[in-house]
Amino acid sequence: MIKFSEIKKSLWVSLWFMFLTFPVMVIRVNTIENVIEWRWENMIFIGVGSFLFSFVWRYLLKQKEYGLKRAEEGGDIRPSLAQRILRDRKIFAPALTVVGIFALLFPYVFSLYQTNIMISALIFVMLGLGLNIVVGLAGLLDLGYVAFYAVGAYAYALLNYHFGLSFWILLPVGGALGMLFGILLGFPVLRLRGDYLAIVTLGFGEIIRLILENWNEFSFGPSGISNIPRPSFFGMSLSVHDSTIFIYYIMIALCIFTIFVVNRLQDSRIGRAWIALREDEVACQAMGIDKAKTKLTAFALGATWAGMGGVMFAAKTTFVNPASFTIWESIIILCIVVLGGMGSVVGVIIGALILILLPEYLRAFSEYRMLMFGILLVVMMVFRPGGIVSDVRRIYKFEGSGGAGKDA
Amino acid sequence: MDYFLELFLGGLTRGSIYALIALGYTMVYGIIELINFAHGEIYMIGAFTALIVISVLTMMGMNTIAILVIAGFIAVIYSCAYGYTVEKIAYKPLRRAPRLSALISAIGMSLFLQNYVLLAQTSDFLPFPNLIPDFTFMEPYAHIISSAEVVILITTTIVMILLTVLIKFTKMGKAMRATSQDKDMARLVGIDVDRVISVTFVLGSATAAIGGVLIASHVGMINFYIGFIAGIKAFVAAVLGGIGSIPGAVLGSFVLGWTESFATGYVSSDYEDVFAFVFLVLILIFRPAGILGRTEKHTV
Amino acid sequence: MPSLEHPVILDVRGLGMNFGGLRALDNVDIDVREKEIVALIGPNGAGKTTFFNCITGLYEPTDGEVIISPPGRKSEKINGLKPNIVTAKGLSRTFQNIRLFQNMTVLENVMIGRHCRTSSGIVGAILKGPATRSEEKAIVRDSYAILEKIGLDESVNEFAKNLPYGEQRRLEIARALATEPFLLLLDEPAAGMNPQETLELDDLIRRIRDEESISILLIEHDMKLVMSLSDRIFVVDYGRKIAQGAPGEIKNNPAVIKAYLGEDVDA
């Protein structure tokens, strides 16, 4: 039963939002023809929408407070559905097999168009996993991640253009250059606290983009570089159709490689140091961890994956220009990490697939994409900061006292 | 010499606009230690609201001075309302959450507001009428400084003085200072901390809206994206002066304004926006506390 | 009680710390000997935690010297070194307001303590060769052994944030022990503990000293605990050392009583 006071509250919220959105949503001025367009229907949408939405908002807030209180009282916290699936081998192993077979057969079941979309999604899976090292594990908010992606893409485009080097040589070179730039950026920002770091990295991303746009002799300016070759298959060049499928499999392999490496890192001495750094910088240092070195490795490793992702991007589109590397790309990658769950590999993969594939298949709503991403970031942070799949820590089992550790 | 003076005064004008926006960053940071990423968007919404009001009033045939005053007034009201609402939705539920969460929420808010204006209005640049008339007594100096620039400088000065009075001498100002020192302590002595935070957001939004109207009318066009770059530069100014310090924000803004003005005047205008970023990186490396900032003593 | 024959392992001479115009510490001399439990007491705001922060590298002291002489190693000056280097040299601490890694498990918290005593890097982590594997195994084994000693082996896989308050304090001690210190600095270890937990803590601190041969320097407000545990006590007030000596001497020292006047002196 909804109480009267609740309805009254929602009515006020609804009135407030109708007032708030009035000039921007209702009035549109055409300054060229000097006519004003009054869109009263928008006001009705806003009124009804915010009235209903305020109920949902309050309900969710109450749920969250209830959850927090229960956690504080030390009540047991029920693992989420996703966590239970991940822990249960009986469900997890067959699920993984099905996903694996699906991924392998994908290009033969679906059209070339779908395969291309999937390649983009996989590139973003890789980028998400890379950024996850920096943001999710080490807790360093990097808003200029796209800069390393650009470094990789331009490395392939330019080194191929000038020296004719092949994709297979430039894939690791792109990763290495990404790492180099990660270290270059890492050094000056090491001493910065979280929020300054966000702004400086954002600035760094923009500087790289502005340089690519303005330094015509180096980067060919806004028009970019075209006719970048696709990867060759043992020296043979393939048709567009075959090479797309080939790139798809390269991406699958790269993603598996990334997942493997990130998984290993997460449960290693270095990975634990990253998480400790995220949890408490002061305590982390006091426990003997070199803060500067740990931050730098996170930055460098994260950037390596962006560099390789950039090479793949250039190879896939055969064209690069600065417009592909705006701050919004950085924010989309951040959304992937936040939605999926900071620190969680499976979460980031799911996040990337949802955020990249959904807008592709909901073309009708594509203009609302960034609007939705904005809402998503706020709503996730307010109601579910852990993401879809929150970080699952490794469980150790001990038999008897002092027994050697075995992981479950 | 005239060229130098022109650049100097141009830098001063630029600086005073940055100052109006930087104040919002610095006040909010002083109170809740959060970079309000959406602050630049509040400024943009102020400018848009003003443009909409101006267009409506012009078609109703009002005279320019009255239009400027009314539009400015409504823009301030709306920016304040947006600032207030943004805080309630995106930051208040995260008061006790880790800093990273609040920061990401702020970025989300910024992204949302930009696209909200983009979708509800337009992605094109809109012409913004120049409402500040050219005063006749300014004519001899017109090659150095325009009437609009004079108005901007005077308005900024008045706003600064009002703000200083408010913070130094009113009860609310005292509560704000107390809250920025120690939130828990302030709450214990009976200060309504939530209200202080709301007032801070509203005040910051008001100065940003004034800045928005002034610069829009000076530059002559706006779009949904103007808040982003202006916001970042104002933030640089706030950090340069020492974030959390109000005189610092003003000083930092002037330094940045002059740097940009002279750098674009004497060096090159291609990289206009790069200067701010390079500047930011340099300050943060060599003097992270800013010009007037106190060195932070982290409590353990 | 260890005799005064034992060598000095921490020697702080003329330590001073300024914050802007504020003199938080002024000319403080303190020494700790091998196998000794030393308490640092004083009213709130006397500068005790600042003293810890200066010694462990979180602050760089304005003047004075901090010299360590770890058993079996040469003496060296450590002020101005980074906190992680100080920890690697064998000084480890806990915090007044618990600073655990909340979203890591109890075991992982202790494993972090092993970081500075182990060495595998990124390449090792990715390839996971035999050296890395055995190091990783040793980390888990050693960390578990410490938890057993501290009595937290029941909750190895709990998140640190879900532990009761008293256990969180003990986990901080376990984490500090994992760094293999020769001197353990405890900042108000009994704060927020009930009498039963305090008794257990008393026992634990003694065991650490006796079984591990680790010296202990602690800040504490619980006078009963301080008097029962300490071999020697230093008293600071307004950033200056006002007294030092055995518990019996401190109890009757007029300067100490004056400093505590108005505060609860249940000694």
Q: Where are the domains of chain C?
A: 1-90+182-267, 100-180
pLDDT in the model for residue C4? 61
pLDDT in the model for residue B298? 44
How many distinct structural domains can be found in chain B? 1
Beta bridge partners of A407: A396
Instruction: Give the distance from residue B245's alpha carbon to the nearest chain C alpha carbon, in angstroms.
Output: 17
pLDDT in the model for residue B206? 93
C106-113 and A269-279 helices, crossing angle to 10°: 110
Q: Is the pLDDT of residue A241 over 90?
A: no
Residue C267's pLDDT band (boundaries 50, 70, 90)?
Answer: very low
pLDDT in the model for residue A309? 95
CATH number of C1-90+182-267: 3.40.50.300
Check CB contact of B51 with chain A, cutoff 8 Å.
yes
Which of A377-381, B77-81, B225-229, C106-110 has the lowest average pLDDT? Answer: B225-229
Q: By residue range, what is the domain housing residue A134?
A: 85-396
Q: Is the pLDDT of residue A80 over 80?
A: no
> Measured between alpha carbons, how far is A250 from C131 in angstroms, rounded to an integer?
32
Q: Is the pLDDT of residue A402 over 50?
A: no
Residue B20 corresponds to which tokens in the numbers above? 């109006």
Between B72 and B142, residue with greater pLDDT: B72
Q: Is the pLDDT of residue B112 over 90?
A: yes
* Average pLDDT value for residue range A340-361: 86
Task: Kindly state whether residues A31 and A113 are assigned to the same domain.
Answer: no
Residue C22 corresponds to which tokens in the numbers above? 């504020």
* Average pLDDT value for residue range A370-378: 89
Share of chain C above pLDDT 90, in %: 42
Report yes or no on A331 lying in a domain: yes
- The pLDDT tens digits for A281-310 are 899 999 999 998 999 999 999 999 999 999
Check CB contact of B101 with chain C, cutoff 8 Å.
no
Q: Measured between beta carbons, which residues in chain A are less than 8 angstroms from residue B89?
A: 378, 382
CATH of the domain at A308: 1.10.3470
Residue A186 corresponds to which tokens in the numbers above? 């890492």
pLDDT in the model for residue C265? 47
Report yes or no on B234 lying in a domain: no
Task: Encode A213-234: b = buried (16+ Cβ within 10 Å), e = exposed.
Answer: bbeeeebbeeebbeebebbeee
pLDDT in the model for residue A174? 94
Share of chain B above pLDDT 90, in %: 20
CB contact under 8 A, C115 and A273: yes
Q: Is the pLDDT of residue A94 over 70?
A: yes
pLDDT in the model for residue A85? 65
Nearest Cβ partner of C53 from B294, B295, B300? B300
Which DSSP symbol is given to C239? T
Instruction: Give the distance from residue A270's alpha carbon to the nearest chain C alpha carbon, in angstroms.
Output: 7
Task: Encode A53-67: b = buried (16+ Cβ within 10 Å), e = exposed.
Answer: ebeebeeeeeeeeee
Beta bridge partners of B263: none
CB contact under 8 A, B59 and A34: yes
Work out whether the CA dihedral B161, B162, B163, B169 comes out positive or negative.
positive
Length of chain B: 300
C18 neighbors C62 (Cβ within 8 angstroms): yes
Chain-centre distance for alpha carbon C186: 3
Residue A337 corresponds to which tokens in the numbers above? 């990490």
* Average pLDDT value for residue range C128-135: 88
pLDDT in the model for residue A99? 86
pLDDT in the model for residue A148? 95
* Average pLDDT value for residue range A24-44: 81
Q: Is the pLDDT of residue B154 over 60?
A: yes
In order, the DSSP letters of A341-402 are: -TT-HHHHHHHHHHHHHHHHH-GGGGGGHHHHHHHHHHHHHHH-TT-SSPPPPPPEE--STT
Judged by phi (left if over 0) then psi (alpha if -120 to 50, else beta), residue C215 lies in: beta
- Exposed/middle/buried for A161, CB within 10 Å: 0-12, 13-18, 19+? middle
Nearest Cβ partner of A404 from C99, C132, C141? C141
Q: Is the pLDDT of residue B32 over 70?
A: yes
**Binding-face residues of A in 80-109 toward B, CB within 8 A:** none
Report yes or no on A206 lying in a domain: yes
Instruction: Give the distance from residue B22's alpha carbon to the nearest chain C alpha carbon, in angstroms.
Output: 26
- The pLDDT tens digits for A302-337 are 999 999 999 999 999 999 999 999 888 898 899 899
pLDDT in the model for residue A408? 37
Beta bridge partners of A406: A397
> Measured between alpha carbons, how far is C99 from B65 in angstroms, rounded to an integer?
59
CB contact under 8 A, C58 and A391: no
pLDDT in the model for residue B108? 92
Q: Is the pLDDT of residue A206 over 90?
A: no
Residue A74's pLDDT band (boundaries 50, 70, 90)?
Answer: low
Task: Kindly state whether residues A165 and A243 are assigned to the same domain.
Answer: yes
Nearest to C161 by CA among B105, A391, B99: A391
Residue A349 corresponds to which tokens in the numbers above? 């993969």
> Measured between alpha carbons, how far is C101 from C122 in angstroms, rounded to an integer?
22
In order, the DSSP letters of B30-80 are: HHH----TTHHHHHHHHHHHHHHHHHHHHHTT--HHHHHHHHHHHHHHHHH
Residue A391's pLDDT band (boundaries 50, 70, 90)?
Answer: low
Alpha-carbon Rg of chain C, whole angstroms?
A: 19
Report yes or no on B163 lying in a domain: yes
Q: Is the pLDDT of residue A192 over 50?
A: yes
Q: Is the pLDDT of residue C237 over 50?
A: yes
pLDDT in the model for residue A82? 61
> Measured between alpha carbons, how far is B289 from B256 in angstroms, rounded to an integer?
16
For the beta sheet containing C76-77, the strands, ordered from the edge strand earlier in sequence to the opposite edge, are C22-33, C8-19, C63-68, C76-77
Between A343 and C202, residue with greater pLDDT: C202
Residue B46's pLDDT band (boundaries 50, 70, 90)?
Answer: very high
Coil, helix or strand at residue B127: strand
Nearest to A201 by CA among B135, C218, C29, B277: B277
Nearest Cβ partner of C108 from A261, A270, A272? A272
Q: Is the pLDDT of residue A274 over 90?
A: yes
- The pLDDT tens digits for B241-259 are 887 778 888 888 998 888 8
Check CB contact of B96 with chain C, cutoff 8 Å.
no
Chain-centre distance for alpha carbon C231: 16
> Measured between alpha carbons, how far is A50 from A9 in angstroms, rounded to an integer?
11
Residue C262's pLDDT band (boundaries 50, 70, 90)?
Answer: low
Residue A78's pLDDT band (boundaries 50, 70, 90)?
Answer: low
- The pLDDT tens digits for C16-59 are 998 877 888 888 999 999 989 999 998 888 888 999 999 999 88
pLDDT in the model for residue A403? 40
Instruction: Give the distance from residue A160's alpha carbon to the nearest chain B alpha carbon, in angstroms.
Output: 28
ipTM score assigned to the predicted complex:
0.90
Share of chain B above pLDDT 70, in %: 92
Q: Measured between beta carbons, which residues in chain C are less than 8 angstroms from residue B294?
A: 20
Query: How open is the CA angle A320-A324-A327, to the nearest 5 degrees?
Result: 145
Q: Which of A72, A94, A111 is the last residue of a domain?
A: A72
Residue of B nearest to C50 (CA): B300
Sequence-distant (6+) residues with CB within 8 A of B235 are: A199, B22, B25, B35, B39
Task: Encode A105-142: b = buried (16+ Cβ within 10 Å), e = exposed.
Answer: ebbeeeeeeebbbbbbbbbbbbbbbbbbbbbbbbbbbb
Report yes or no on A325 lying in a domain: yes
Between A342 and B209, residue with greater pLDDT: B209
Instruction: Give the distance from residue C50's alpha carbon to the nearest chain B alpha carbon, in angstroms.
Output: 9
Work out whether the CA dihedral A191, A195, A196, A198 comes out positive or negative.
positive
Task: Kindly state whether residues A122 and A68 are assigned to the same domain.
Answer: no
How many distinct structural domains can be found in chain A? 2
B2-32 and B193-219 helices, crossing angle to 10°: 160
Residue C254's pLDDT band (boundaries 50, 70, 90)?
Answer: confident
Report yes or no on A403 lying in a domain: no
Task: Kindly state whether residues A255 and A175 are assigned to the same domain.
Answer: yes
> Measured between alpha carbons, how far is B113 from C103 in angstroms, rounded to an integer?
33
Count other Cβ atoms within 10 Å, centred on residue C30: 20
Which DSSP symbol is given to A256? H
pLDDT in the model for residue C176? 94
- Exposed/middle/buried for A90, CB within 10 Å: 0-12, 13-18, 19+? exposed
Between C238 and A86, residue with greater pLDDT: C238
Q: Which of A72, A96, A117 is the last residue of a domain?
A: A72
Task: Kindly state whether residues A67 and A185 are assigned to the same domain.
Answer: no
Count other Cβ atoms within 10 Å, centred on residue B250: 26
> Measured between alpha carbons, how far is A185 from A302 in angstroms, rounded to an integer?
12
Check CB contact of C151 with chain A, cutoff 8 Å.
no
Amino acid identity of residue A213, one-letter, is E
Report yes or no on B203 lying in a domain: yes
C28 neighbors C239 (Cβ within 8 angstroms): yes
A255 neighbors A126 (Cβ within 8 angstroms): yes
φ/ψ of residue A121, rounded to 5: -60, -40
Q: Is the pLDDT of residue C172 over 90?
A: yes
The pLDDT mean for chain C works out to 88
CB contact under 8 A, A23 and B48: yes
Q: Is the pLDDT of residue A272 over 90?
A: yes
Q: Is the pLDDT of residue B189 over 90?
A: no
Q: Is the pLDDT of residue B292 over 70?
A: no
- The pLDDT tens digits for A125-184 are 999 999 999 998 998 989 899 999 999 999 999 998 898 888 889 999 999 999 999 998
